[in-house]
Amino acid sequence: MLKENLEQVEARIQQACDRAGRDRSEVTLIAVSKTKPADILRDAYDLGVRVFGENKVQELVDKYGVLPDDIRWHMIGHLQRNKVKYMIDKTELIHSVDSVRLAETIEKEAEKHNITANILIEVNVAREESKFGVIPEELDEIVEKIAGFSHLNVKGLMTIAPNVENPEENRAVFARLRKLSVDIANKNVDNMNMSILSMGMTNDYEIAIEEGATMVRVGTGIFGERNYAQV
Ligand SMILES: *Cc1c(COP(=O)(O)O)cnc(C)c1O
């Protein structure tokens, strides 16, 4: 099941790249493994998956402890400031920075560990009240402030698009995120580049790739439905 799912997602990524005239190597697939037990992640690992996305610090840390060292862990969920210290040295990229205060905490913890933390800024493009992320109008200001931190590398933007029936409805959201990133890149702010666009989930990753995603976060499409009752 897992093998077939991975093959299907891989084929669809390739097709979306072909439609958009993009090279497959421009898009990183993040296997979103939240709520799934470590032995399932191990199966995915054995099938070649090396990049996993988690949305809870405790879960990420637990799985980090029992799975191989060459896995690259991505924090994709809302991050509480008091938990940064547990995960800062275990993640390749934090997708969900949505305030200067959170960035400040990451900066402090990164300095303690003598590392530079890679982060994305989460943008609430569709202005959904239920979602985290900065609204587009606040982006410039936050980017300028965060760019001054010496232990942070801002690498791009992330968004969680609305939950829609027809993924085409999210095309404009993805196009907007891309436009925002181009606008910021054109300002040539020091300590910052906009090389990563993290957008697209199981329901809409093909559209996201057509609109320029460089990272897609796919959970259900790889691991099947999540059963929150068991967690
Ligand atoms: C759960 C989650 C995903 C994956 O969702 P699917 O619809 O299962 O692919 C992607 N991004 C974030 C931030 C998530 O929390």
Per-residue pLDDT reduced to its tens digit, 206-218: 999 999 999 999 9
Instruction: Give the dihedral sign, CA 120/142/86/200.
Output: negative
**pLDDT > 90? residue 188:** no
* H helix intervals, 54-170: 57-66, 84-87, 100-112, 139-147
Q: Taking the mean position of all CA atoms in its chain, how far away is CA 126?
A: 17
Q: How high is the pLDDT of residue 62? A: 98
Check pocket membership of 220 for ligand 1, CB cut-off 6 A.
Answer: yes
Total Cβ atoms within 10 A of residue 202: 16
Q: How high is the pLDDT of residue 231? A: 47
Contact 44, 2 (CB under 8 A): yes
Could you report the per-residue pLDDT of 60-104, keeping only the tens digit for each?
A: 999 999 999 999 999 999 999 999 999 999 999 999 999 999 999
Q: Taking the mean position of all CA atoms in its chain, how far away is CA 203?
A: 15
Average pLDDT over all residues of the chain: 96
Q: How high is the pLDDT of residue 192? A: 85
Contact 222, 32 (CB under 8 A): yes
Q: From CA 34, how far away is CA 18, in angstroms rounded?
A: 30
pTM over 0.85: yes
**pLDDT > 80? residue 46:** yes
Side-chain half-sphere exposure of 191, counting CA atoms within 13 A = 15
158 exposure class (CB count in 10 Å sphere: 0-12, 13-18, 19+) = buried
3-state secondary structure of 218: strand
Counting residues of the chain whose pLDDT is more than 70, the rounded percentage is: 99
Check pocket membership of 213 for ligand 1, CB cut-off 6 A.
Answer: no
The protein residue with its alpha carbon nearest to ligand 1, atom 5, reads: 219
Test site for ligand 1: of 51, 79, 201, most ligand atoms within 8 A of the Cβ: 201
